[in-house]
Structure 1
Amino acid sequence: MAVVAAQNGTETSAVSGRVGQPPPRKLSKEELVKTHKGYLKKQNLSPDAPRPVKQPVLSEAYPASTKSIRDVEIMPLSDLRVETHHRGKGIIVKVISMPFIGAGAVSIVEDEFGNVDKLAIYNQGDSSILSGVPEGCVVGVKEPYYKYNGAENDYMICVDHPSDVILLRFADPIIPESLQLGPLLKTSLEWRTAGDTAFIERDYPTAVFCYTEALETAEDDASEAPIYTKRAGTNLILGRYDTAKADALASLTGGSSDWRGYYNAGKAAYGLCEYKTSKEHFEKALQLNSKGSGIQKEYERSLARLREEEHGEYDFAAMAASLSPQNVHLDNGSFLGRTRVAESKHHGRGLFATQELKAGDIVFVEKATLMPNQYEPARASAALYAMMVRQLCENPSLAQSVLSLYPGKDTPYERTGAEGTIVDGVPVVDVFLVEGIRTKNCFSAPLSTLEDTKPTTPAGRLAKGLWTHAAHMNHSCVPNTMRSFLGDILISRATRDVAEGEEVFQQYVPVSSRVDERNLQYKHSWGFECRCTLCEGERRSPAAMLEKRKEVLIAVEKACDKRLPGRHGESEKFVPDAAIRSVDRLAKQLEDLHEPEVYDKLPRLMLIYPCNWLVGAHRGRKNHAKVVKYGLKVLRNFGFRVPAGDDDKEVAAWDPRNIFSKSGNISLMTIHVVVALRRLAEAYQALGQQETSKRCTEAADFGYQMVTGFKNDSSVIEK
């Protein structure tokens, strides 16, 4: 899926000075049609051809129309003005060409006065006829935007917001007489037959259109029920679950054949993740058709989802085993009852624990609201944006959860409050608002966090998804939760004990060791400065000390050649004594630059890299005592409480299994903590301290559960 950016907002010389004016010259109908036919010959309509997505540029944002086509003043195409949004106006035009399908659908259109222009419709889903309006159809465009298209005398009506254009019924009285064709078919039976033909040909959008016309021309209620049934089934195929559910319930007649209506309603509710409603519909279907094996199967699926929702019962190992590049959307529900959304003292709203949680407990499990199966990072953002727009158009019930999320401050206008409401039979969808919400709330997700921790995992394979419950979580550099992924399932686990009513936090991105750099990133990407315990504590350290630490860390990285011995399961190379002494000296110098009054109970993130390097260097030389020394320093620098010295009694009394739940622990949990515990277990084993080695292994496995989301043998990170 290619990404097509909107035209740069800087006006070219061809349009400068003409904003708000008529075009200097409008191409004739013959010129437009001729040029358009040339494009049609070049287009690739292969089903395997990637269709580009025009992602909006937020600096060029303009609001979607919230008016009905019947509440605007209809204007002729000749009144269109360059680079103008014609507020309070509308156009009604007939499509007089086949569409050119690219990032949008471009057609030649004509109004009732014989004026001709070019219409480009973007951001329509593949299930919509408007994604490629057939020749002869009549459309209404609300508050049209007329823009320069980059070439001499090349202008077009640009429809970015999918709700700004309406496909009008052939017999709609708003259509001017000269554009009216009259109904192509006369009777409900003819329209129904046409719908059946389109369905057989797998032209599902046309089938829905025909069934809609059949319902409009139906002579009595009795003839409507089978048409509603057909349209419900077709909408199910298209993923239009809201409409499918409404159609299924509208098909009910009170007879025994209603089992199919309840079955379709149950399927639609299941598609919307409304499992309780789905269960109830399937129960009614079974009462009318107890021998329906398909109904029983769907009923049992609903029960399984309800158990997940109510009790958080998951077979994570089986879920992981079922994953594949072709199967990323797992058939599982969300478990959200341990948290609630409420106002936060940090940033707007946040998530809060509704009960006491222990380190390692599931905080919540959430199925993605929206996540395309696209793991190419360059395409993943465009794919998610396109899915968000399409699903908001096709399933308006998503609006409440999606459109309530924070979109940032990039759009230059306030929300109208009408986003998501139904106007002219379709929900108002503002693509710039949607893009703002995507950029501020989406997560990057590997196919499986478990697989992503293994040394052989290919780098850079990430999808983009929207989990609306998780999106309410605020950021902390030392959060009390950690997220992981299995396909489109997000698992959040507590990394330390959480009290009832306490706000739960997550990392938005991996935390930089330098407080100034990471807060520049937060400011740029999300518009906030982090006020977590670590950031606030580190700000007490003078700027001059920070600069000294940065200088020494740069020297450390240079001395280490920016590589960790034994990283990702590679065998340790023999590191010369001189190199170890140099890094050891620099690490001690860096440690001395961390003021005790500031860092006594805080992580020291700048020290993690050199201590990890020294663990690897000494491990390669089988110097187990030094591995223990620097392994403990790694844990300490992540903020965990560990023995301070080499006292054998202190080490013997130390239980690493308790480091995650220590009261008042200000720590940062990552995969590197698990690796450090594995290295310590290995070194203690070699030193004959079997019990401590065993405890470190158990602590590593416990920590690995937080990282991957479920119980796994942490030894796989080295295989």
Structure 2
Amino acid sequence: MAVAPLSSGSEAGEAKERNGAVPAKRLTKEQLLETHKGHLKKQDLSPNAPRPVKQPILAEAYPASTKSIREVELVPLSALCVETHHRGQGIIVRIASPPFFGAGAVSIVEDEHGNADKLAIYNQGDISILSGVPEGCVVAVKEPYYKYNGSDNDYMICVDHPSDVILLRFTDPIIPEPLRLGSVLKTAEDWKKAGDTAFLEKDFSTAVFCYSESLEIEPSPGVFSKRSSTNLLLGRYDAALTDALASRTNATSDWKAYFNAGRAAYGLCDYPTSIVHLREALSLNPTAANVRKEHDRCLTRLHEAETGAYDFLAMHALLSPTTVHLDRASFTRRTVIRSSPHHGRGLFAAEPIPAGALVFAEKAAFMPNQYDPSRAAAALYALTVRQLLSNPSVASSVLALYPGSDLPLPDLPGGTLIDGIPLVDVFLTEGIRQKNCFSAPLSTLSDTKLTTPATAAAKGLWLHAAAMNHACVPNTLRSFLGDILISRATRDIPAGAELFQAYVPVKPDPAERSALYETAWGFQCGCALCEREGRSPEAARARRRELLAQVERACTRQQPGAGVVVPDSVIRGVERALRLLEEAHEGDVFDEPGVLPRLMLVYPCNWLVGAYKGRKNWRKVARYAKRVVRNFGFSGVPLEEEGEKGWDPRGLFTAGGSEGG
């Protein structure tokens, strides 16, 4: 997916001049349709082109409407003012053209008075009819945003929030008389047959619409069952579960209702609810192989959630460029989310967790299979919006995440049903994505190979992991297998202790990383490393930055590598600069109490490992390799001057072996 281009500065300036005014002149319906036909012809030439995503610009945020269409004042298109959000107002229009697909679906629309304009609907999933409303349908837009479209007399109604637009039933009494078509089909049976036809044609969103029309006329267990099965195919698990239970008749044939209900709950990763329904289905139809298979699969997920017993090697073997979503449950029993003294909420150990043990393993709430870094963020944003629309039961856990402090919030909680549609605010959703998503390689193990592109990473939301606060010297380390995030303890963690992770690789310069945390997440890190580095006088910190720059200049004179022999003179220059930088680290800050990482020393020591490797001086290679580990904060590594007798590397991973690592 691509990000839709933004308006140019000149267009924005022209739009500002027109703010709040009713346009003196608009294009006629005929002019709009003529231009629209030209766009449709271009679209026909590339029907399979990927659709871009219009990601919100948070600086332009405005809240989604929290009103029902029956609570607002309905106004004609001619009353719309440029660059205005028409609070307390709404429009009802009929679609007068096929949709043109760009970042959204653009259609020509007309109101009851014969006024015409363009309507752009964004952020609707492919499974929704609203992603491309058929000609002749009637839609309502709540509190519409009307914008200047970049050329003379050209304007457009923009629907950014997907819950701000409603596809009206043909017989809805709110539709003005001139726009009424009446019921296209007359009986519940007619609508059911139309749904069956759409289903056979794999037009599942239309099938759901037709089944819904049938149920409005005459509720039927059979049609509820059909709609449940169709919603399952669309990934609308909330609706599928409700419909499945509504299709019961208190007969043995209800096994299918419970089967669908179990599959829907499984799709929501609600395995305790799923197993209840699948057991009921199995009791009514004990010979059904498909029910037995789903029942046993759900039992496996429940076992994983309780024990954290995973075959990680087998999971790794399943991964491929097309298989990134693993069928596994999340194991979070050892941890609990509660208020943190650091930043709002945090994650805490519910029991003692030994070093190296699994802290938790979590399946992503949302992670698209998109490893192109230029498209990964847009893909995650689009998937999150569409899942919140499809399954409003997930909204409370997702929208509880921190979105940033400057966004205007809706008056009602996200996911609240208004006019039968869950409230989804796209700016709030994008703020949550930006503050809480992780970049994930296909697998952390594979990512260590030299042939793996360093930039090949998807983006995903892991709700449990997102509750963890940052520390530059964390007590957990994360890794990935597809859409599974795995967290392990880097030291012994007592029950009740807060769990920390490093949000990003930690920069050696505390001023640089502090600026990054403030800009990206709005906090100042208070971990042991940052707190104790902050005790250094500014003059000492400036001296270390100056020496680090000297070391880096010395290192860049010649880079070690395969077949490269670095001259002694260059190595001695780096060693001299390294000694000065080591001396600039005050012992009372970095050594007592407990050894802290000296991150500025890692790069030059690592450079010397490579340089001496090229000269086959293995004693020096070992010397500087140990310094690399020591400078990462592992106090259990003896340096030559401290003696090495009896050193056991396993001590690095005990409670006393590493204050920093």
Settle same-fold status: TM greater than 0.5. Answer: yes
Alpha-carbon contact 2:476-2:488 (below 8 Å) kept: yes
| Aligned residues of 2:371 and 2:456 also touching (Cα < 8 A) | yes
Q: How many Å apart are 1:576 and its aligned residue?
A: 1.8
Matches within 5 A, 1:385-404: 385-404=381-400
* Cα separation, 2, equivalents of 1:8 and 1:301: 53
Contact persistence 1:564–1:612 (CA under 8 A) = no
Aligned to 2:489: 494
Whether the 8 Å contact between 1:93 and 1:139 is mirrored in structure 2 is yes
The match for 1:673 is: none
C-alpha displacement at 1:5, in angstroms? 4.3
The code of the aligned residue for 1:631 comes to: A
Local SS of the residue matching 2:487: strand
2:533 pairs, out of 532, 538, 543, with 538
Question: Secondary structure of the equivalent of 1:14?
Answer: helix
Letter in 2 for 1:189: E
Which residue of 1 is the match for residue 346 of structure 2? 350
Match of 1:609 among 590, 603, 616: 603
What is the Cα deviation at residue 44 of structure 1? 4.7
**Structure 1 residues without counterparts, runs of 5 or longer:** 669-719
Aligned to 2:448: 453
TM-score, structure 2 as length reference: 0.97
| Counterpart check, 1:623 vs 2:617 | yes
Report the equivalent of 2:115.
115
Equivalent position of 1:677 in the other structure: none
- Decide whether the 8 Å contact of 2:337 with 2:348 is kept in 1: yes
Cα deviation code 1:269-299 (max 9, x no counterpart): 1100011111111111111111111111111
Distance 1:582-1:374 versus aligned 2 partners, 3 A rule: same
Distance in 1 (CA, whole Å) between partners of 2:391 and 2:7 is 30
How far apart are the structure 1 equivalents of 2:418 and 2:197?
30
Measured in 1, the distance between the counterparts of 2:66 and 2:505 equals 40
2:379 paired with 1:383: yes
Indicate the residue corresponding to 1:560 in structure 2. 555
Query: Residue 225 and residue 563 in structure 1: after superposition, are their counterparts in 2 closer, same or farther (change >3 A)?
Result: farther
Given candidates 584, 588, 610, the residue that maps to 1:593 is 584
Residues 14, 90 of structure 1: CA spacing in aligned structure 2 closer, same or farther, 3 A cutoff? same
- Alignment match of 1:527 (pick from 517, 522, 529): 522
1:18 deviation in Å? 2.4
What are the equivalent positions in structure 2 for 1:209-608 lying under 5 Å apart? 209-218=209-218, 224-411=220-407, 413-561=408-556, 565-566=560-561, 571=562, 573-600=564-591, 601-608=595-602
One-letter amino acid of the structure 1 residue matched with residue 504 of structure 2: V
Q: How many Å apart are 1:325 and its aligned residue?
A: 0.5
Q: How many residues align?
A: 658
Structure 1's consecutive aligned runs of 4 or more residues displaced over 4 angstroms after TM superposition are 8-11, 44-47
How far 1:415 moved relative to its partner?
Answer: 4.2
Q: Does 1:188 align with 2:188?
A: yes
User: Per the alignment, do residues 155 and 394 of structure 1 end up closer, same or farther by CA in structure 2, a change over 3 Å counting?
Assistant: same
Look up the equivalent residue of 1:492 and give its one-letter code.
S
Distance 1:483 1:70 in 2: 49
**Which amino acid is the alignment partner of residue 132 of structure 1?**
G
Whole-angstrom CA distance in 1 between matches of 2:491 and 2:340? 20
Q: CA deviation at 1:46?
A: 5.7
Cα pair distance change 1:264/1:508, threshold 3 Å: same
**What amino acid maps onto 1:204 in structure 2?**
F
C-alpha deviation, 1:309, in angstroms: 0.4
Aligned AA (1:135): E
1:667 matched residue in structure 2: 660
* 1:654 corresponds to which of 623, 626, 647: 647
Assess if the C-alpha contact under 8 Å between 1:4 and 1:54 holds in 2.
Answer: yes
- d(CA) in 2 for partners of 1:462, 1:344: 30
Structure 2 CA distance for aligned equivalents of residues 104 and 626 of structure 1: 61
Give the SS at the match of 1:586.
helix
Distance 2:28 2:204 in 1: 35
Measured in 1, the distance between the counterparts of 2:28 and 2:161 equals 27
Distance 2:294 2:560 in 1: 53
The CA distance in 2 between the partners of 1:623 and 1:13, in whole Å, is 66
CA distance in 2, matches of 1:415, 1:478: 37
Q: For residues 562 and 465 of structure 1, what CA distance do their matches in structure 2 show? A: 40
Report the equivalent of 1:700: none
* 8 Å CA contact 1:5, 1:56 repeated in 2: no
Please state how far the C-alpha of 1:263 moved relative to its aligned partner.
0.8
Matching residue of 2:19: 19
Residues 85 and 146 in structure 2, CA contact (< 8 A), matched pair in contact too: yes
- In the other structure, the counterpart of 1:133 is 133
Task: State the one-letter code of the partner of 2:572.
Answer: R
Q: CA deviation at 1:10?
A: 7.7
CA distance in 2, matches of 1:633, 1:15: 60
Unaligned ranges ≥5, structure 2:
none
- 2:463 partner SS: coil
CA distance in 2, matches of 1:256, 1:645: 75
Cα-Cα RMSD: 1.6
Structure 1 pair 136/428, CA: closer, same or farther in 2 (3 Å)?
A: same
CA contact (8 A) 2:635 2:659 kept: no
Answer yes or no: is the 8 Å Cα contact 2:108–2:116 preserved in 1.
yes
The alignment status of 1:154 with 2:154, answered yes or no, reads yes
Q: What is the Cα deviation at residue 665 of structure 1?
A: 3.5
Tell me by how many angstroms 1:488 deviates. Answer: 0.2
**Do 1:5 and 1:57's aligned partners in 2 also have CA atoms closer than 8 Å?**
no
Larger deviation, residues 612-621 vs 275-284: 612-621
> CA shift at 1:634, angstroms?
1.3
Moved more, 272-281 or 434-443: 272-281
Cα separation, partners in 2 of 1:268 and 1:184, compared to 1, 3 Å: same
Name the CA shift for 1:275/1:92 in 2 (closer, same or farther; >3 Å). Answer: same
Confirm or deny: 8 A CA contact 1:99 1:132 kept in the other structure. yes
Letter in 2 for 1:663: G
| Alignment map for 1:27-66 (pairs within 5 Å) | 27-44=27-44, 48-66=48-66
Distance 1:629 1:191, change over 3 A: same
- Over 3 Å counting, the alpha-carbon distance change for 1:301 and 1:480 in structure 2 is same
CA distance 1:149–1:308, change in 2 (3 Å) = same
SS at match of 1:98: coil
**Aligned partner letter, 1:379:** R
Q: Distance in 2 between matches of 1:564 and 1:306?
A: 52
Contact 2:355 2:655 in 1 (8 A): no
Tell me the amino acid that sits aligned with residue 257 of structure 1. Answer: S
User: Which amino acid is the alignment partner of residue 558 of structure 1?
Assistant: R
Q: Is the 8 A contact 1:120 1:158 kept in 2?
A: yes
Whole-Å separation in 2 of the counterparts to 1:172 and 1:389: 27
Give how far 1:3 is off: 0.7
1:368 deviation in Å? 0.1
2:574 and 2:63 mapped to 1: Cα distance? 57
Q: Distance in 1 between matches of 2:345 and 2:316?
A: 32
Q: 2:632 aligns with which of 616, 630, 638?
A: 638
3-state SS in 1 of match to 2:576: helix
Q: Is the 8 A contact 1:66 1:418 kept in 2?
A: no
Partners of 2:159 and 2:6 in 1: how far apart? 12
Distance 1:353 1:551, change over 3 A: same
Q: 2 CA distance for matches of 1:599 and 1:337?
A: 36
The amino acid that maps onto 1:592 is: E
In the TM superposition, residue 624 of structure 1 has moved relative to its aligned partner by 2.5
Q: Deviations over 1:671-715 (max 9, x none)?
A: xxxxxxxxxxxxxxxxxxxxxxxxxxxxxxxxxxxxxxxxxxxxx
